[in-house]
Amino acid sequence: MTQATVTIQYVNEVKPGKKWGSVKTPEGVIFGVPPQLLPQFQAGGTYTIDYTEGDSGFKGVNNVWPAQGAPVAPPQPVQQPMPPMPAPMPSAPVPAPGGHTGPPGMGIDAKAEDIFVTGVVGRCFHGTGTLPDAGTLTEIMQNLRMAWKAGHKPAQTIDATGGVIEDEIPF
């Protein structure tokens, strides 16, 4: 068994399906730590450890105690869980039986616009876990609708003679 005084840079909890956690020093040396000893380590702390090194190079900690005269590691802040996401704001009417998603007379281009706007807004705020206030969200959605209208014209189908076919099917 070998004894060493080490300063800890990282403490890694036991991963699912594994039997050991680990600690890493600033020099990059990694020691395997059994779960019952992990709570004694804190990042930034200096400790005296007893460890054994196997033929494969694995260094397993057998015992740990604060090093004599070493400063005690500062307490680590407790990470608060992220609050639950607020319920999504309705952005489009709920589909009625038959799949129609808007008021009567809403064409395919209006549906495509709704899909574009709600998709972009959803993608933008998905990673943050928060939504802006209602006024900001409304402004963002209005800007997206203006961008959609500036870049898209209603779908038109041209018949074999070059005339426009007036229907809502864009193909």
Structural domain spans, the chain: 2-66, 86-171
Burial label for 1, CB within 10 Å (0-12, 13-18, 19+), is exposed
Quick: pLDDT tens for 53-85: 988 888 999 988 887 755 444 455 556 676 776
pLDDT tens digit string along 12-61?
999 888 889 999 999 999 999 998 898 888 888 899 999 999 888 889 99
Q: Which residue has the tokens 């050991």?
A: 20
131 forms beta bridges with: none
| CATH class label, 2-66 | mainly beta
DSSP per-residue codes, 94-146: PPPTTS--SSTT--HHHHHHHHHHHHHHHHHHHTTS----HHHHHHHHHHHHH
Is the full-model pTM beyond 0.75? no
pLDDT tens for 90-143 read 555 555 555 545 555 556 677 888 888 888 888 777 767 777 788 888 888 888
- How far apart are the C-alpha atoms of 35 and 91, rounded to whole Å? 48
